[in-house]
Amino acid sequence: MSDTIAELRRQREEAQTRLAARFGADSPEEVSQALNALHDRLIRRVLELAEQEMMRTGRGKPPVPYAYMLFGSGGRAEQTFASDQDSGLIYADAADVARSERNRSAMPGNASSGCTFRDDFVARYIRAYFLAFAETAVGYLKQLGYPPCEGNVMADQPAWCMPVSEWAAKVDGWFEEPSWENVRHLLIVADGRCLAGDRTLADGLKDRYFRHVADRPAVASRMAENTLRHKVLVGVFGQLLAERYGASAGTLDIKYGGYIPMVNAVRLLAVRSGIRATGTLDRIAALAQAGVWSAAEAAEAREAFAEFLRLRLLASAPREDGSLPSGGQLPVRLLAREDVDRLKKALRTGKKLQRRIERETRAGFGGR
């Protein structure tokens, strides 16, 4: 790929236009997979350019291994044409570097074996390096057309750019104090996917995460409360609940009225079952394989999610002038009769899944 952000942006826009033209000819899953493979390549290239910029400005190579994480739709590999940034950065602890240096210095014949290693200085240097690196990468991604996360879940924020020991302590604290905000963070981490760097750092954190899930089943109830906060946009009598007022009147919020409720429900069941997959379709398949769902239930969920995925991609597709819609709202008038029928069926599936979680929550997740 290109060596400049301007050229990368042009390549992204051209590739997305080609992918949008594949609607109808290819399945929503195929378009989504191709689109997210594009996003992954672009972000990895941006990270390479950010490392090169750190070298060019005299900061050098990364001082310790790191893992660049994607969260949200990026972590699930479900980004649309207009997704924002949700990211984090995990890097090795300075103490591990210091220990390695001390061991090396203490080797026979090493003249520096009597010196002491300033762990605190090294820790500050490493922290400053990765914050600068993340700021560079995030800045490049903004130029490339990826807007910042409204909730500031981004690698250039100190709260999401930490050594592995601080990540571990933070995750421990979220489980020990499962407030609404802390549970929200736990659900964000559940979708985390290592895009570049040392995958073992991310895997170690996920190991810790799932040990906590197994040891603290009561936290699942708190997760359910957060999971169910977005309701599907279908009424008591099966009617679509379109926006009634303002500039969005007559539109359907596909993201928060269909896609997100389904993502949240499937994620909760997967996390509770110890399933490590982050993509929703992968989680559905794993739930069936684990016996949590029957083959028929999994097929129904997959069909519903594919419809939400299709409409969400449609709502975010580039306009004729190449610009991207900002809100992701889909006007009802643009839907053909068969589209409305498929959407209503998918929404009924989403609502049934939410009711199941409500029942299991009341029963303390006592099983099927």
pLDDT in tens, 14-24: 999 999 999 88
pLDDT tens, position by position, for the chain (368 residues)? 788 999 999 999 999 999 999 988 899 999 999 999 999 999 999 999 999 999 999 999 999 999 999 999 999 999 999 899 999 999 999 876 655 555 444 444 444 443 444 678 889 999 999 999 999 999 999 999 999 999 999 999 999 999 999 999 999 999 999 999 999 999 999 999 999 999 999 999 999 999 999 999 889 889 998 888 888 887 655 677 777 777 778 888 888 889 999 999 999 999 999 999 999 999 999 999 999 999 999 999 999 999 999 999 988 887 666 566 656 678 888 788 898 899 999 999 999 999 999 888 877 654 43
What's residue 108's pLDDT? Answer: 41
Count of residues for the chain?
368
Q: Name 130's Cβ contacts closer than 8 Å, sequence gap at least 6.
A: 62, 66, 89, 91, 161
| Pairing, β 87-91 against β 161-163 | parallel
Q: Name 241's Cβ contacts closer than 8 Å, sequence gap at least 6.
A: 233, 234, 235, 252, 257
List the CATH code of the domain at 1-90+129-216.
3.30.460.10
Q: Which strand (E) or helix (H) includes residue 316? A: helix 295-316
What's residue 7's pLDDT? Answer: 96
CB 209 within 8 A of CB 271: no
What's residue 267's pLDDT? Answer: 96
What's residue 271's pLDDT? Answer: 95
Place of tokens 């429900």: 265
DSSP letter at 149? P
| Helix axes of 280-289 and 260-272: crossing angle, nearest 10 degrees | 40
Q: Which two tokens stand for residue 44?
A: 């990895």
What's residue 361's pLDDT? Answer: 80
| Helix axes of 28-56 and 5-20: crossing angle, nearest 10 degrees | 180
